[in-house]
């Protein structure tokens, strides 16, 4: 029978308070558990959302360093997962867009992924849930239950199934250290692919007729009137109902995280395992996923180290990127990054950093980069961005075309509400218009100290001219360092030989 809500809080307290007496073995090797939400955001108590109940994430936060300025390097599912697992931005590792079906994007064959490097170093690797990257030779796992050999609903949303797979992995663990990647499919939308389960698959496994039953899940239902509407989402009944459905699936994931951590504890690995929780990209709402605005790239990030208890429960303002995940895990295992090149060019180097120093003392990090090229294969809208402190600078490389809308967001109640209200000439109760959302300036600059909602583009403001020049230079330098094929777009052509350079097109851009 599923535990009552209070029971989950007790499980969390037992798990993280040490009441159960977790096994301690000083000689046991270090391990890593990486937990990634699918299109998750800040809908949790630890990030000050008081409208949703997330006792397991909140309990994990009590044993973690909580990052308030963490960002994905790309706001799209497969490109983000590839960047997390390689430490390379999408334009460098080759996963330009979605991996599955007609989209068919893959990382380059010679990329050295995290799972490959760890396996070569004698570390056992496992993945449960959504993989969404390829090819298999670049992303090998010793233990794998993903959409490639299972139903993604079962391995990504059925928390009882996920619990049993984690138990299977733990029980089959040998003397090697391990890296286990649990990739939930919650709270991704499913109205486009499995509409019978609701806009967010919030009905999947709830025990109603035709919905199946997940024994360990106690569904939490939320009133649309009580959800917290983010500043970038219109405040209308349709959007509120959409958010309420999202909350239910986040609750399922939260309970699943509790089950996963309980299995880690029961197997005796809690005190030897670095636990990382984050999400792949922004939530699937306006200005969220597929955008390089704050709302599309800002991510939750909790890092729980059994070796750094003095940082538990503390909040870090340091800027972190999901490009930092690979160097962090390599650092934890003391595995060096290899020397190799792609296409005979310069030696590949990670531009991310290990986050482990932040577990010792607060670092001064204040800069992150982002790079987006496609989502679906038809959604070519390349953007590059850099955030340095409160300033976010975005380059829309093809701004003269309309910003594209992905399929599952298009059919969502929230976007249909925006379309219908706009067509009918009714107030949208949104901080943008569809026209301004579709058609963007080539350069965008936002100052979060005075404009946290990114409503006023300051790129042409003479008071920010020096900042624009510096940020453009910083972004361009990163593009060259990471061999960005789009580095000369839109007003030049990249010529690699005899030396890389941008040749002008004189196209009036």
Edge-to-edge strand list for the sheet holding 298-304: 143-146, 124-129, 178-183, 31-37, 273-279, 298-304, 65-71, 315-321
Q: Which residue in 20, 77, 201, 488 is the catalytic one?
A: 77
Residues 221, 248 contacting (CB under 8 angstroms): yes
Q: Which of 192, 202, 262, 249 is nearest to 19 (CA)?
A: 262
Is the four-CA dihedral 12, 16, 17, 22 of positive or negative sign?
Answer: positive
What backbone phi and psi angles, to 5 degrees, belong to 33? -120, 115
According to DSSP H, which parts of 38-186 are helical?
Answer: 55-62, 77-86, 90-93, 114-120, 152-156, 159-171
Which residues in 244-265 are b (16+ Cβ under 10 Å) and which e? bbbbbbbbbbbbbbbbbbbbbb
Phi-psi region of 353 (alpha: psi -120 to 50; beta: other; left: phi over 0): beta
Determine the Cα–Cα distance for residues 259 and 338; give it in Å rounded to an integer: 36
Q: Enumerate residues 6+ apart whose C-beta is below 8 A from 166.
A: 128, 180, 182, 259, 260, 263, 264
Determine the Cα–Cα distance for residues 235 and 15; give it in Å rounded to an integer: 38
> Residue 155 CB: number of other CB atoms within 10 A?
26
Does 77 participate in catalysis according to the annotation?
yes
Q: Enumerate residues 6+ apart whose C-beta is below 8 A from 182.
A: 33, 34, 35, 36, 127, 128, 129, 162, 166, 260
Determine the Cα–Cα distance for residues 31 and 175; give it in Å rounded to an integer: 11
Q: Which amino acids are annotated catalytic?
A: 77
């Amino acid at each position: 029978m599923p535990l009552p809500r209070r029971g989950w809080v007790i499980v969390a307290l037992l798990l993280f308070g040490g009441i159960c007496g977790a096994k301690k073995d000083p000689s046991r090797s270090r391990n890593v558990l990486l937990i990634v939400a699918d299109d998750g955001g800040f809908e949790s108590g630890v990030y000050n959302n008081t409208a949703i109940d997330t006792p397991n994430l909140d309990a994990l936060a009590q044993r973690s360093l909580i990052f308030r300025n963490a960002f994905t390097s790309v706001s799209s599912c497969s490109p983000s997962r590839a960047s997390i697992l390689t430490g390379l931005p999408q334009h460098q590792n080759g996963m330009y867009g979605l991996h599955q079906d007609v989209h068919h994007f893959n990382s380059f064959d010679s990329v050295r992924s995290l799972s490959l490097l760890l396996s070569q170093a004698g570390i056992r690797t496992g993945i449960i849930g959504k993989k969404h990257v390829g090819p298999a030779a670049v992303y090998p796992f010793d233990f794998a239950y993903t959409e490639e050999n299972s139903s993604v609903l079962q391995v990504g949303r059925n928390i009882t199934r996920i619990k049993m797979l984690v138990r299977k992995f733990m029980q089959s663990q040998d003397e090697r250290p391990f890296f286990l990647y649990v990739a939930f499919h919650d709270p991704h939308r499913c109205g486009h692919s499995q509409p019978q389960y609701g806009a967010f698959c919030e009905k999947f496994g709830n025990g109603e007729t035709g919905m199946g039953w997940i024994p360990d899940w106690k569904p939490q239902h939320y009133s649309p009137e009580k959800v917290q509407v983010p500043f970038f989402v219109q405040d209308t009944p349709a959007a509120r109902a959409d958010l309420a459905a999202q909350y239910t699936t986040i609750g399922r994931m939260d309970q699943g995280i509790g089950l996963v951590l309980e299995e880690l504890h029961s197997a005796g690995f809690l005190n030897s395992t670095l636990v990382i929780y984050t999400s792949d990209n922004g939530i699937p709402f306006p200005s969220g996923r597929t955008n390089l605005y704050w709302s599309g790239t800002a991510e939750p990030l909790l890092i729980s180290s059994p070796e750094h208890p003095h940082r538990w429960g503390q909040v870090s303002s340091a800027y972190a990127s999901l490009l930092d995940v690979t160097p962090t895990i390599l650092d934890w295992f003391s595995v060096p990054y290899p020397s190799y090149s792609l296409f005979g060019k310069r030696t590949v180097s990670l531009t991310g950093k290990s986050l482990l120093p932040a577990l010792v003392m607060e670092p001064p990090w204040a800069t992150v980069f982002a790079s987006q090229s496609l989502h679906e294969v038809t959604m070519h809208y390349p953007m590059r961005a850099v955030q340095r402190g409160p300033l976010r600078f975005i380059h829309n490389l093809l701004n003269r075309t309309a910003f594209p809308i992905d399929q599952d967001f298009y059919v969502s109640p929230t976007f249909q509400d925006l379309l219908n209200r706009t067509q009918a000439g009714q107030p949208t109760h949104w901080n943008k218009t569809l026209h301004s959302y579709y058609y963007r300036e080539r350069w965008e600059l936002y100052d979060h100290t005075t404009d946290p909602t990114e409503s006023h583009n300051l790129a042409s403001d003479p008071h920010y001219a020096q900042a624009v020049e510096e940020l453009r230079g910083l972004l361009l330098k990163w593009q060259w360092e990471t061999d960005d094929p789009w580095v000369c777009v839109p007003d030049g052509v990249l010529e690699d030989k005899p030396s890389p350079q941008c040749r002008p097109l004189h196209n009036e851009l």
